[in-house]
Amino acid sequence: MKPRKVSAAAAAVLALALAATACGSDDGGGGSDDGKKITVGIKFDQPGVGLKTPDGKYEGFDVDVARYVARQLGYVSDDIVFKEAKSADRETLLQRGDVDFIAASYSINDERRKKVDFAGPYFLAHQDVLVRADDRSIAKPSDLNNKKLCSVTGSTSAQNVKTKIAPQAQLQEYGGYSECLTGLENKTIDALTTDDAILAGYAAQDQFKGKFRLGGFKLSDELYGIGVKKGDTELRNKVNAALEKMVQDGSWKKAVEANFGPAGYRSEPPPRIGVFSG
């Protein structure tokens, strides 16, 4: 009988030791080591909106919005993983679960709402044109007729101008906005068109300050929303609550001024959040 008591006691000690080891392991975790991460899709190539800098940092209005929302969801800065969300990949990233949400100049439209859900909108942009600061020949949208108009390959912005506003515009499609800006600076093109927020971001870069100006034409309305996986109502509602708080506490206005102010861009007031939650 005595050996059994010793074995039982030994087993109890071993069990306690194992339990203590397990507890010690849990206590050793925390912060970024406990697996608590949130992956956010942003643009990497839009100054003022979403940009990955050469030193690996992330900046822009959408980045500020994403960080604020993530904090309201319970994450600290080190828990946020930014992933590039190119325009053509955004729905796929959400559907596959590669990202938790996307804040990437993501205009809300009916076609996209069939595939993903949107929180927000948190920003109202307009299609506009960027021209040289000293060029007074483009004062109204129709002045784009017979002008060399640039946008990126596959963009709907230039086609919108061509079909609805200035049918004689000479479209120039480049691989990226930076190429359009170089052409605008060198006078090989006359105007660049896309969302005004994106244009303001480029114009605010140090190397371009004072060289360009926005036309202020408001050629379309573009409501930016935060994309979440279709059917994730809980996350969408939490993001809406975070966006509402961002507007109320002044953080939204501060982010707009910090990212777009240097270009002299005057944003619209924040739109009503939650209008696409039904």
User: Do 197 and 251 belong to one domain?
Assistant: no
User: Do 111 and 77 belong to one domain?
Assistant: yes
Which CATH number goes with the domain that contains 185?
3.40.190.10
Report which residue type is found at 244.
E
Q: Look at residue 114 and tell me whether its pLDDT is greater than 90.
A: yes
Three-class SS state of 105: coil
The arithmetic mean of pLDDT across residues 138-158, rounded, is 87
The arithmetic mean of pLDDT across residues 6-19, rounded, is 43
Q: What is the pLDDT of residue 143?
A: 96
**How many domains is the chain built from?**
2
User: Do 255 and 231 belong to one domain?
Assistant: yes
Q: What is the pLDDT of residue 30?
A: 36
User: Mean pLDDT, the chain, as a whole number?
Assistant: 85
- Half-sphere exposure of residue 67: CA atoms within 13 angstroms, side-chain side: 15
The arithmetic mean of pLDDT across residues 100-124, rounded, is 95
Prediction pTM value:
0.78
Query: What is the domain extent for residue 246?
Result: 34-124+223-263
- Whole-angstrom CA distances from 153 to 49, 55, 99, 172 are 20, 28, 26, 9
Q: Look at residue 5 and tell me whether its pLDDT is greater than 50.
A: no
Q: Look at residue 244 and tell me whether its pLDDT is greater than 60.
A: yes
Q: Look at residue 134 and tell me whether its pLDDT is greater than 50.
A: yes
Which residue would you say has higher pLDDT here, 210 or 244?
Answer: 244
| pLDDT tier at 238, thresholds 50, 70, 90 | very high
User: Do 38 and 85 belong to one domain?
Assistant: yes
The structure tokens listed for 73 are 């969801």
